[in-house]
Structure 1
Amino acid sequence: MNEIALQSAMRQLESLRSGAISVSELAEAHIARIERLNPCLNAFADFDAERVRVQARAFDAMPEPRGPLHGLPVTVKSSIATAGFRCEIGSLLNKGDIPREDAEAVARLRAAGALILGTTNCPEFLMAYETANLLHGRTSNPWDLERTPGGSSGGESAAIAAGLSAAGLGSDSGGSVRVPAHFTGIGSLKPTPGRVPGRGHLPPCVGPFSTLGAIGPMARAMEDVELLFRVLSGQDASDPASPPVALRAHSLDELRACRIGFFEDDGIVPVTAETRAAVQAAAQALRDAGFRVEPFRPHTLEQLRKLWNIFFVQCGAMFYESAIRGKRERLSPIFTEFLGIAGAAGPLTAAELLNAWAELDMLRAKTLEAMQEYPVLLCPVASVPAWRHGERSWNVEGKTVAYLDAVRYTQWFNVLACPAAVVPVGRSPEELPIGVQIAARPFEDEIVLGIAKIVDREFGFRPPPLA
């Protein structure tokens, strides 16, 4: 019973459908792992075992399966409104906040039959690549408790990697489902914004964050990530950023027609030797599968990163200013650190913001034109694997790599509004997982998932020692 919680979501669903296990039995397997492992991981923001048991018994009493996820135990990042669960975005300023209504993505999870285990921890207001706050404390990585599972979907990634949850929802405006997946050795997808409706995210994905941000599925296997994407996707008529794009299926031959451009670094910030090796290994696996994979790196990456900094860091701080005014003594160190980074960039004028917005449109067009030749990109997720709690710089290839520079490899695809997936491939000398990133042009999410599944079959999830 303990082992089933580490199986893929698809395998768990097969066991439920065959009658090999009941929803209550599967729920108990997850409850047992949560009660055993969460005290050292601190992945959850809200979990109540009895509430889970009540849900499970109700599922077992149903005469027919509720939907394609019937009885599957899942979790939701505590920045995505989940009715009846604490969704405080990791802040003392929101202590005790419990939404009355589900976010659209959560409503779709429930309609498909998912069993909500609880909500997971995140850094205060989501503005960090490490999960810690004054409300729920620090989340640790199941591969090494002295290291972070990343952020801002760090609680979600830690729970899934350790088998506390079969799959779940995170959100991503600068790598927040991809860096945690890379750090903990699981899979994830940052969809094209709107393909998974963002309505109900806390705070709302509005202004520049309607381009940068997306709610995305996370799981131990890419076939599970794809399953969640198919359940969640589809236009939300009440969301102006949700496009009417139907699900598509691509044959292997159609996927092979997509030329893949790969690069091991961006020419500015180095990556570890093991990260290079992971990208090379994924490239070779795709060649062996019949894909044309060639070196290619867009020339616009550094300009895109600078624009991400304007929209995420400077605009992000501006968005929160009214909420935190007069309350800074109650903010966590990790959010105060973010405000310091934003403050060092100086005030953003209206003219600078307008020019940046115009420049973004032009750079997106230039980059997407270059991607017509290579519609799929393969590259690192970050310069380094999971870092120790509080670390903020690393020596890579004789060069000091700073905090935000180490994770720049995800930020480009937020300002480009491109879908991007992470697949676990390699290992560091410390046996920490190393993922690779697969991205494509906007609205080509199914292509990303199809290629990511091929890489995942070659490498894939391995349970962390703690699990």
Structure 2
Amino acid sequence: MPFEDATEQAALVAAKAITPVELVQSHLDRIEAANPRLNAIVTLVAERALAEAQAAERAIMRGDPLGPLHGVPFTVKDSLDTAEVPTQRGSPIFAGRVPSTDATSVARLRQAGAILLAKTNLPEFSFATETDNLLIGRTNNPWNLERTPGGSSGGESAAIAAGMSPLGLGSDVAISLRGPAAHTGIVALKATHGRIPTTEHWPQVPRRLWHVGPMARSVRDIALSYSLLAGPDGSDGYANSPLSFGAGCTSDPARALRVGWLVAPGFGPIAPDVATTVGDAARALAEAGCLVEPVRIPVLEEINGIDLYLNLQGPETKPVIAEAVEGHADQVFEHAKRILAMPDPSARDYVAATQAVERLRSGFADYFRRYDALLCPVTLLSAPPHDLAEFVIGGETVTSRHILRATVPFNLTGLPALSMRFGTSGDGMPIGIQLVSRWFAESTVLNVAARLEAVSRVAGLRPPH
């Protein structure tokens, strides 16, 4: 039961084929079996979850109207506030911090009937691609314990991939939903910036780059979750666009979508098996009736998004981190130390970075005049071993920051982007592909993803741990 997707679990609950108590207990049992090896769970709320499951069961027996996720457990990255449940942000500095209210995204899943099961691990303050901290330590990838599940939503991706949760919430400032999803073989969506409120996520800065989004094991779960999460909440000033058209896979399957696919140039060195997987996905889309052709996007060849990200993120993030860690030097992990040690860009460099982002936006706007979607890599290699400072890809040595190269442009521009598995590396690790569409066209991304999932040979594979 833990490996059924959330949509199926909700249907079984509604049909009285399984009770919410049985469903929650099955996930608690799975956590007990798998988490000691993975270390993905920060806080388990078993007692409360079982009590809510009992209440959900009584509602079914009374014949009450049921939400679309009634009785289904879910997990939440520990950067999002959860009422009366610790939210500790990957740091001993915030150990024992208990919010009084839920983040908007958490509240919306609970309103749909979902039951909070646990909080999941993250790098300190969410600013790293390796999920490790001084609070509970390092999270391992369920496909290979010697590999990273990525970051910063690495605990969430590991929990979902390992069957400890069918559905979860993560966040993404440069890679943090899509990269961990690719490393662990699940699905994650970074919707158009502002579609899903980031209210009560920490840190808030740089707010124009942060996204909150769903993570799951199927595209239909992502579509359902997105439809529940999207829309203004009156608190997040960026979340001001009403959901005015279909949020799920609702496009006519016979429509000839135009999809461009890109491996190089534009992303730097890419592992051959990742490039092959993107090509395989392009052929699958062509066979599924899409009009598919290789493309080049000049602005990606001219601008390295990582450089822009560092120039924009550093000056805004450092003061917030410095304030949080003041007086706690002995409790600061290496991730925060690296942020605090970053040199500040000059005002000229900062302005140049903001102008380069505008050129990126214009370049993508031009691309999406001609195409409905873009198919490209997520990460440029499969999940690497823990704590590598450098990668060797195709004989070229790059720093670990290179892992951001294919994802950060879509944070800088706020475009919707989805990560899903479509291949396997030679050593058995998942390989993801990334689907991007124009602003507010999440339905297109989900449509294309559903077509790929329908022909995928790796959908539903389970990790060994």
Instruction: State the SS of the aligned residue for 1:280.
Output: helix
Paired position in structure 1 for 2:145: 145
Paired position in structure 2 for 1:288: 287
Paired position in structure 1 for 2:16: 19
After the TM superposition, which residues 30-429 of structure 1 pair with which residues of structure 2 at under 5 Å, given as runs? 30-62=27-59, 63=62, 64-204=64-204, 206=205, 209-249=206-246, 251-253=250-252, 256-267=255-266, 269-301=268-300, 302-340=303-341, 343=342, 346-429=343-426
Residue deviations 1:134-169, cap 9 Å, x none? Answer: 011111110011111110000100000000001010
Separation in 2, partners of 1:339, 1:215: 24
Q: Which is worse superposed, 259-268 or 63-72? A: 259-268
Q: Which is worse superposed, 261-270 or 101-110? A: 261-270
Deviation at 1:251, TM superposition (A): 4.9
Instruction: State the SS of the aligned residue for 2:213.
Output: strand
Count residues in correspondence: 457
Provide runs of 4+ in structure 1 moved above 6 Å. Answer: none
Instruction: State the SS of the aligned residue for 1:290.
Output: coil
Separation in 2, partners of 1:125, 1:280: 36
Is the CA contact 1:286–1:455 (under 8 Å) kept in the aligned structure 2?
yes
**Cα distance change of structure 1 residues 226 and 251 upon mapping to structure 2, 3 Å threshold:** closer
Alignment RMSD (CA, Å): 1.8
Separation in 1, partners of 2:180, 2:331: 26
Deviation at 1:252, TM superposition (A): 4.1
Instruction: State the SS of the aligned residue for 1:329.
Output: helix
Separation in 1, partners of 2:335, 2:141: 17
Deviation at 1:254, TM superposition (A): 7.5
Separation in 1, partners of 2:96, 2:277: 42
Is the CA contact 2:90–2:124 (under 8 Å) kept in the aligned structure 1?
yes
Deviation at 1:326, TM superposition (A): 4.2
**Cα distance change of structure 1 residues 118 and 240 upon mapping to structure 2, 3 Å threshold:** same
Q: Which is worse superposed, 450-459 or 364-373? A: 364-373
Residue ranges of structure 2 left out of the alignment (5+ in a row): none
Paired position in structure 2 for 1:464: 462
Deviation at 1:269, TM superposition (A): 1.9
Is the CA contact 1:140–1:149 (under 8 Å) kept in the aligned structure 2?
yes
Paired position in structure 2 for 1:434: 431
Query: What is the percent sequence identity of the aligned residues?
Result: 38
Separation in 1, partners of 2:20, 2:344: 53
Separation in 2, partners of 1:189, 1:373: 23
Q: Which is worse superposed, 237-246 or 378-387? A: 237-246
Instruction: State the SS of the aligned residue for 1:210.
Output: coil
Q: Which amino acid aligns with 1:90?
A: G
Instruction: State the SS of the aligned residue for 2:324.
Output: helix
Q: Which amino acid aligns with 1:398?
A: G
Q: Which is worse superposed, 254-263 or 124-133? A: 254-263
Is the CA contact 1:105–1:232 (under 8 Å) kept in the aligned structure 2?
yes
Q: Normalized against structure 2, the TM-score is what?
A: 0.94
Instruction: State the SS of the aligned residue for 1:132.
Output: coil
Is the CA contact 2:131–2:138 (under 8 Å) kept in the aligned structure 1?
yes
Instruction: State the SS of the aligned residue for 2:392.
Output: strand
Separation in 2, partners of 1:348, 1:324: 22
**Cα distance change of structure 1 residues 351 and 395 upon mapping to structure 2, 3 Å threshold:** closer
Deviation at 1:277, TM superposition (A): 1.2
Is the CA contact 1:150–1:179 (under 8 Å) kept in the aligned structure 2?
yes
Separation in 2, partners of 1:65, 1:77: 29
Is the CA contact 2:84–2:98 (under 8 Å) kept in the aligned structure 1?
yes
Deviation at 1:255, TM superposition (A): 8.0
**Cα distance change of structure 1 residues 265 and 166 upon mapping to structure 2, 3 Å threshold:** same
Is the CA contact 2:191–2:442 (under 8 Å) kept in the aligned structure 1?
yes
Q: Which amino acid aligns with 1:283?
A: A
Is the CA contact 1:185–1:462 (under 8 Å) kept in the aligned structure 2?
no
Residue deviations 1:87-136, cap 9 Å, x none? Answer: 11101111111110011111111110001001111000111001000011
Separation in 1, partners of 2:292, 2:36: 44
Q: Which amino acid aligns with 2:318?
A: A
Is the CA contact 1:255–1:450 (under 8 Å) kept in the aligned structure 2?
no
Q: Which amino acid aligns with 1:308?
A: Y
Q: Which amino acid aligns with 1:25?
A: E
Separation in 1, partners of 2:50, 2:83: 17
Q: Which amino acid aligns with 2:345?
A: L
Separation in 2, partners of 1:176, 1:317: 19
**Cα distance change of structure 1 residues 254 and 210 upon mapping to structure 2, 3 Å threshold:** farther
Separation in 2, partners of 1:43, 1:330: 21
